[in-house]
C-alpha cells in the first residue's frame, strides 16, 4: 500500500446466517425446473436426479430444502462406500457438490444400485453435467447416463435482483431497490459475482459505518473493476 493512503478501519467479521428455507428461495425462469423438481418429490422422473448449475446458482439451497423435506442422508462425494453397509436403504440420499473433489466411483455405483433396488431417491448436485465428471468406471457412466439431469441456467435479471435482495436480507440489511437494480445492471451476470459483490459492499459499509447507497455500490464496483484486492483481507 502506498504511504499516502488514508488509514482504513478494518471491520470485525461478525458473519451472518444464510437463510436456507423454502421461503428464502428466489424463483425465476432460470431455476423454475429445478424448483419444480424439488417441490414434486417423491414423484420424480427417475430415482437418480442430477441438479447441474453454475456456482452460487442455488444448488445447495435447493438441496437443503429437499433434504429437510425428504429427511435425506447427506453423503460426501469422496466417501460413499463406507456408509453403504449400515444405512437404511429406503432413506433418500443427498450428495452435494458431486464434482467438487475426487469422486468415490465404486461407492456411487453401489449407491445407485441400492437406491434403484429399494425404490428410493438420490439427488446429486454439481457444477457440470455427469458426462464432464471424468467418470472412468463404465458401469457408473451408464448409470449416470440414465439419471435425470436438470439444469439451472445463468441467472436472469429477476433472479439476480431477488438473490441480491436475499443476500442483504441474510445480513439483516434492507437495501433500496434502486441500489439492487444498479448492481444488477452493472455486475457480471453470475450468482457467484453477486455473492462476492454483496459481501464486499457489506464489509465496506461496516468499515465506513454508512448506509449501502448507490455511491458506495459504485465505489465497490470500481474497486472490483480495477482488480483491487484491497477489500480482501
Partner 1 sequence: MRVILERSNLLKSLNHVHRVVERRNTIPILSNVLLHADGASLEMKATDLDLEVNEATAANVEQAGATTVPAHLLYDIVRKLPDGAEVMLKTDEDGNAMSVISGRSSFRLQCLPQSDFPELSAGQFTHNFRLESAAVKTLIEKTQFAISTEETRYYLNGIFLHTLEVGGKLKLRSVATDGHRLARAEMDAPAGSEGMPGIIIPRKTVSELQKLVDDPDVPVTTELSDTKIRFTIGSVVLTSKLIDGTFPDYQRVIPTGNDKQLIIDRESFARAVDRVSTISSERGRAVKLSISDGQVTLAVNNPDSGSATEEIAADYSSDPIEIGFNAKYLLDVAAQLSGSEAKFMLADAGSPTLIHDTADEHALYVLMPMRV
Q: Of 8-16, 55-63, 84-92, 190-198, which part binds partner 1 (CB under 8 A)?
A: 8-16
Distance from the first to the final alpha carbon of the chain? 13
Q: Does 6 bind partner 1 (CB under 8 A)?
A: yes
Per CB under 8 A, the list member of 174, 178, 185, 192 interacting with partner 1 is 174
Cα–chain-centroid distance for residue 176?
A: 25
**Cα separation, 216 vs 126, whole angstroms:** 34
Among the listed residues 2, 86, 102, 233, the single contact to partner 1 using CB under 8 A: 233
Among the residue ranges 37-45, 94-102, 117-125, 203-211, the one whose residues contact partner 1 (CB under 8 A): 203-211
E-strand stretches of 135-211: 148-151
The x, y and z cell numbers of residue 232, run together, are: 480482501
- List, in sequence order, the alpha helices (H) in 31-152: 32-40, 59-70, 105-118, 138-145
With CB under 8 A as the contact rule, the residue among 84, 118, 173, 218 that binds partner 1 is 173
When asked if residue 229 is in the footprint of partner 1 (CB under 8 A), the reply is no
Among 86, 209, 225, 227, indicate the residue that binds partner 1 (CB under 8 A): 209
- What kind and span of H or E run contains 203? helix 191-208
Among 210, 214, 222, 228, binds partner 1 (CB under 8 A): 210
2 scored as a contact of partner 1 (CB under 8 A): no
Q: What span, in angstroms and rounded, lies between the C-alpha atoms of 140 and 48?
A: 12
Cell of 194: 453477486
Q: Pattern 13-42, binding to partner 1, x per CB under 8 A?
A: xxxxx-------------------------
Contact 64, 138 (CB under 8 A): no
Which residues make Cβ contacts (< 8 Å) with residue 28, sequence separation at least 6?
155, 156, 158, 159, 162
Number of residues lying near partner 1 (CB under 8 A): 25
2, 23, 172, 225: which one binds partner 1 (CB under 8 A): 172
Chain residues in the site for partner 1 (CB under 8 A): 1, 4, 6-17, 172-174, 205-207, 209-212, 233
Amino acid at each position: 500500500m502506498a504511504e499516502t493512503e488514508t488509514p482504513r478501519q478494518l471491520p470485525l467479521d461478525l458473519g451472518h446466517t444464510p437463510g436456507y428455507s423454502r421461503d428464502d428461495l428466489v424463483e425465476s425462469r432460470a431455476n423454475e425446473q429445478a424448483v419444480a423438481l424439488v417441490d414434486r418429490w417423491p414423484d420424480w422422473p427417475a430415482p437418480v436426479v442430477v441438479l447441474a448449475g453454475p456456482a452460487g446458482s442455488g444448488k445447495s439451497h435447493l438441496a437443503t430444502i429437499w433434504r429437510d423435506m425428504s429427511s435425506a442422508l447427506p453423503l460426501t462425494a469422496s466417501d460413499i462406500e463406507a456408509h453403504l453397509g449400515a444405512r437404511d436403504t429406503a432413506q433418500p440420499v443427498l450428495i452435494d457438490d458431486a464434482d467438487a473433489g475426487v469422486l468415490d466411483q465404486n461407492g456411487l455405483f453401489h449407491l445407485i444400485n441400492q437406491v434403484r433396488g429399494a425404490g428410493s431417491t438420490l439427488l446429486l448436485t454439481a457444477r457440470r453435467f455427469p458426462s464432464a465428471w471424468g467418470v472412468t468406471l463404465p458401469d457408473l457412466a451408464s448409470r449416470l447416463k440414465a439419471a435425470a439431469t436438470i439444469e439451472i441456467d445463468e441467472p436472469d435479471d429477476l433472479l439476480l435482483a431477488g438473490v441480491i435482495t436475499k443476500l442483504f436480507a441474510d445480513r439483516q440489511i434492507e437495501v433500496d431497490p434502486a441500489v439492487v437494480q444498479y448492481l444488477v445492471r452493472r455486475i457480471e451476470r453470475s450468482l457467484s459475482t453477486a455473492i462476492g459483490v454483496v459481501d464486499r459492499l457489506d464489509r465496506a459499509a461496516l468499515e465506513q459505518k454508512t448506509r449501502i447507497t448507490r455511491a458506495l455500490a459504485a465505489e465497490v464496483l470500481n474497486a472490483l473493476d480495477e482488480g483491487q484486492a484491497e477489500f480482501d483481507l
